[in-house]
């Protein structure tokens, strides 16, 4: 990852700087440094305090809740060991929601990334109108997900919604979308792609801009055509951006919530129930806090594993200029 | 000959891009057109043309729907939250960029990690903490848990790293306090990034849905998207006024986006890739 590599570099720099200072360092100077330590810590205090109360503590709390039985209201919590996890593993809805989460990621991420890349290449290759196209394609990114979900919900109305009316004008009979268990998840994935590809496009454009022009000239001299230049210069040099986009898209696709809560409520027949929505239902509809916490832990394990796997893979696949 | 060919290629690509742009805009265009249709036209008329143009939907919004209250709640929460995130982020980013101290890189890595973890993982306990603090159904309950923004800290720190250390050191030698250095050197020199960040954070906060939905059960306190979704369900609001509310809800953010598009897109471009 770009950020992490950069961090490594800085760390080495910092370490060597510290070693140098250490050689000449006296006790007095060290005490002075300790005193100075308070200044950066004071500036960090608000952020660290907030993280402690609203991130670290809840994190540990959630972990401990996953071993307890509790209904959010009653004063008593009961330690139940692994019962919540076992309950989840025997719960069909949990498995369905896990499968749907994975499916949703597989539906949205490749298309949102692919379309984002295609649009970046297309828009950047234009002489005129770059800014206008960029503006339009980025518009869905800034739209409010709550409001736009209502609009999309109506768009998918099988009889009078815009989607099927448009398809009908091309002579295609549209499916039942959100009422059809086989299509409902696709319907939500389309909203996800629509809202997400512009962000990827903008990141790709900034990636394209950072590629050194002279590399293309060198490739051209070596006899590479437009396609060869794309394959051997553009794509490899976009790999750090691609990696960043993939990590972020997968994480955010796992977090999809508003479209589901507003458009389908997880239905029909749990066909759009995803992990995050299942956590929400367990906690705030069934008041089964332990199960929700256990599910949260599993969500973390899944997202964490995926991110680590990607980090590993990226070391082989990502090329830096 | 070559020139004509390239012009034709450019023209073809314009056609393609305009077509894709129109497809992308379908939901927004449809929302706009439907909001000014006559009720009988909604289910039978032309998809993108209001033959009986009328503003009844909008009149209903102002007569029957507490839209102004929702918009005020959203604006107030988003503005205060943005301000807080900027202040907390500025201080933390300054500490990360200007000082060397043991554990600095580990702490910064921790900040990055907080961005990677889905907020739903900690949502239930955070809800309980907010409840313990008696902040449920208050604006504070929405704002306070999100004041430490990993995104703000990260973006500002990356920007501050590009400011030569000598400038900061010179300020200290000239007798500037640490706070003064942060204020007069780092903040002064990163105005563009600060404003881009402010717009990005504001839009994100305004659009946030999941957390305000949990914290604000009381109707008079709810943010626009949350209140709108509930109101529509409870009152089974018809399509025309629904689209009118949707259009009005998009307007402030749309205006902000169009006004600040340059900072906005460049701010996003900087995230994660530069530095």
pLDDT in tens, B186-245: 888 888 888 888 888 998 899 888 899 999 988 889 999 999 888 888 888 888 888 999
Supply B69's token pair: 């209250």
| Mean pLDDT for the stretch of residues A158-187 | 88
Cβ of A142 within 8 Å of Cβ of B253? The answer is yes
**Sign (positive/negative) of CA torsion A209, A199, B71, B42?**
positive
Cβ of A202 within 8 Å of Cβ of B213? The answer is no
- Look at residue B69 in the predicted model and tell me its pLDDT: 92
* High-pLDDT (> 70) share of chain B, %: 97
- Look at residue B232 in the predicted model and tell me its pLDDT: 87
pLDDT above 70 (res A33): no
* Residues of A with Cβ-Cβ distance to B272 under 8 angstroms: 2-3, 203, 244, 248
B-facing residues of A in 28-57 (CB < 8 A) are 36-37, 39-41, 43-44, 46-48, 50-51, 53-55, 57
> Measured between CA atoms, how close is A60 to chain B, in angstroms?
9
| Mean pLDDT for the stretch of residues A248-263 | 90
pLDDT above 60 (res A321): no
**Of A82-91, A136-145, A247-256, B79-88, highest mean pLDDT:** B79-88
pLDDT above 90 (res A51): yes
For B117, which of A119, A247, A300 is closest by C-beta distance? A300
**Is A151 touching B (CB cutoff 8 A)?**
yes
Cβ of A138 within 8 Å of Cβ of B265? The answer is yes
pLDDT above 80 (res A315): no
Minimum Cα–Cα distance from B11: chain A residue? A126
**In angstroms, rounded to a whole number, what is the distance separating the alpha carbons of residues B203 and B252?**
10
* Residues of A with Cβ-Cβ distance to B268 under 8 angstroms: 138, 199, 202-203
**Between B261 and A280, the higher pLDDT residue:** A280
* High-pLDDT (> 70) share of chain A, %: 88
SS3 B175: coil
Cβ of A39 within 8 Å of Cβ of B99? The answer is yes
| Mean pLDDT for the stretch of residues A176-184 | 90
Of the given ranges (B30-39, B177-186, B266-275), which has the lowest mean pLDDT? B266-275
**In angstroms, rounded to a whole number, what is the distance separating the alpha carbons of residues B4 and A195?**
37
| Mean pLDDT for the stretch of residues A24-41 | 63
pLDDT above 80 (res B80): yes
φ, ψ of residue A69 to 5 degrees: the values are -110, 125
B-facing residues of A in 77-136 (CB < 8 A) are 119, 122-123, 125-129, 133-136
Task: Band the pLDDT of A195: cuts 50, 70, 90.
Answer: very high
Determine contact, residues B81/B58, Cβ cutoff 8 Å: no
* Residues of B with Cβ-Cβ distance to A240 under 8 angstroms: 273
Cβ of B148 within 8 Å of Cβ of A47? The answer is yes
| Mean pLDDT for the stretch of residues B46-57 | 79
How many CB atoms within 10 Å of residue A230? 15
Task: Band the pLDDT of A11: cuts 50, 70, 90.
Answer: very low
Cβ of B119 within 8 Å of Cβ of A127? The answer is no
Task: Band the pLDDT of A165: cuts 50, 70, 90.
Answer: confident
- Look at residue B173 in the predicted model and tell me its pLDDT: 84
**Up-side HSE of residue B109: CA atoms within 13 Å toward CB?**
12
pLDDT above 60 (res A49): yes
Cβ of B95 within 8 Å of Cβ of A44? The answer is yes
Minimum Cα–Cα distance from A261: chain B residue? B210
**Is A301 touching B (CB cutoff 8 A)?**
no
- Look at residue A227 in the predicted model and tell me its pLDDT: 85
How many CB atoms within 10 Å of residue A62? 23
Report pLDDT digits (tens) over B87-130.
999 999 999 998 888 888 899 989 988 888 888 888 888 998 99
- Look at residue B271 in the predicted model and tell me its pLDDT: 60
How many CB atoms within 10 Å of residue B10? 14
Give the mean pLDDT of chain A: 84
- Look at residue A12 in the predicted model and tell me its pLDDT: 46
Cβ of B118 within 8 Å of Cβ of A251? The answer is yes
> Measured between CA atoms, how close is B139 to chain A, in angstroms?
16
pLDDT above 60 (res A24): no
pLDDT above 90 (res B50): no
- Look at residue A110 in the predicted model and tell me its pLDDT: 96
Task: Band the pLDDT of A7: cuts 50, 70, 90.
Answer: very low
> Measured between CA atoms, how close is A279 to chain B, in angstroms?
8
For B209, which of A51, A57, A258 is closest by C-beta distance? A258
Among B141, B261, B265, B275, most A C-beta atoms within 10 A, so best to mutate, is B265
Q: Are strands A68-69 and A78-79 parallel, antiparallel or unpaired?
A: antiparallel
Determine contact, residues B57/B35, Cβ cutoff 8 Å: yes
What are the start-end ranges of the H helices in A179-267?
A: 184-209, 213-221, 226-229, 235-254, 258-259
* Residues of A with Cβ-Cβ distance to B250 under 8 angstroms: 143-144, 147-148
Cβ of B122 within 8 Å of Cβ of A205? The answer is no
Minimum Cα–Cα distance from B201: chain A residue? A142
């Amino acid at each position: 990852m770009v950020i992490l590599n950069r961090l490594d570099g800085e760390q080495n720099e910092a370490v060597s700087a510290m070693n140098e200072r250490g050689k000449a360092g006296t006790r007095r100077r060290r005490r002075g440094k300790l005193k100075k330590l308070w200044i950066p810590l004071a500036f960090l205090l608000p952020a660290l305090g907030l993280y402690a109360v609203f991130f670290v503590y809840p994190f540990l709390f959630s972990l401990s809740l996953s071993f307890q039985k509790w209904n959010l209201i009653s004063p008593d919590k009961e330690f139940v060991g692994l019962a919540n996890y076992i309950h989840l593993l025997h719960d069909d809805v949990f498995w369905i929601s896990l499968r749907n989460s994975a499916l949703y990621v597989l539906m949205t991420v490749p298309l949102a990334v692919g379309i984002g890349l295609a649009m970046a290449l297309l828009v950047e290759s234009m002489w005129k109108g770059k800014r206008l196209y960029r503006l339009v394609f980025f518009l869905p990114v800034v739209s409010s997900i709550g409001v736009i979900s209502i609009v999309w919900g109506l768009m998918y109305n099988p009889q009078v919604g815009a989607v099927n009316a448009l398809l009908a004008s091309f002579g295609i009979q549209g499916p039942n979308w959100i009422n059809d268990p086989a299509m409902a998840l696709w319907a939500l994935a389309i909203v996800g792609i629509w809202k997400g590809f512009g962000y990827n496009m903008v990141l790709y454009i900034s990636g394209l801009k950072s590629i050194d022009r002279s590399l293309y000239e060198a490739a051209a001299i070596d006899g590479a055509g437009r396609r060869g230049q794309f394959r051997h210069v553009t794509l490899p040099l976009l790999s750090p951006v691609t990696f960043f986009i993939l990590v972020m898209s997968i994480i955010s696709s796992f977090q999809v919530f508003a479209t589901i809560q507003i458009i389908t409520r997880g239905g029909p027949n749990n066909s759009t129930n995803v992990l995050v929505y299942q956590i929400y239902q367990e906690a705030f509809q069934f008041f089964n806090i332990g199960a929700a916490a256990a599910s949260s832990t599993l969500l973390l394990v899944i997202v964490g594993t995926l991110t680590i796997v990607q980090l590993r893979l990226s070391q082989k696949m990502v090329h830096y200029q | 000959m070559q020139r004509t060919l390239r012009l034709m290629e450019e023209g073809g690509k314009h056609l393609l891009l305009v077509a894709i742009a129109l497809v992308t805009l379908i939901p927004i265009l449809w929302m706009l057109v439907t909001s000014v249709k006559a009720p009988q036209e909604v289910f039978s008329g032309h998809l993108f043309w209001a033959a009986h143009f009328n503003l009844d939907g909008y009149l209903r919004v102002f007569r029957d729907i507490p839209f102004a209250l929702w918009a005020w709640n959203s604006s107030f929460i988003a503005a205060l939250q943005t301000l807080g995130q900027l202040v907390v982020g500025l201080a933390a980013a300054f500490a990360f960029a200007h000082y060397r101290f043991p554990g600095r890189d580990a702490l910064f890595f921790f900040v990055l990690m907080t961005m990677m973890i889905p907020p739903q993982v900690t949502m239930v306990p955070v809800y309980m903490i907010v409840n313990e603090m008696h902040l449920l159904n208050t604006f504070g309950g929405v704002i306070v848990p999100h004041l430490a923004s990993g995104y703000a800290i990260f973006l500002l720190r990356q920007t501050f790293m590009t400011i030569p250390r000598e400038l900061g050191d010179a300020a200290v030698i000239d007798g500037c306090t640490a706070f003064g250095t942060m204020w007069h050197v780092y903040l002064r020199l990163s105005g563009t990034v600060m404003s881009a960040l402010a717009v990005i954070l504001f839009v994100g906060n305004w659009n946030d849905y999941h957390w305000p939905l949990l914290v604000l059960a009381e109707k008079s306190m709810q943010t626009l998207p949350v209140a709108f979704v509930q109101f529509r369900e409870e009152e089974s609001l018809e399509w025309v006024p629904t689209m009118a509310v949707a259009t009005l809800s998009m307007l402030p953010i749309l205006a902000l986006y169009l006004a600040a598009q340059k900072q906005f897109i460049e701010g996003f471009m900087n995230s994660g890739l530069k530095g």
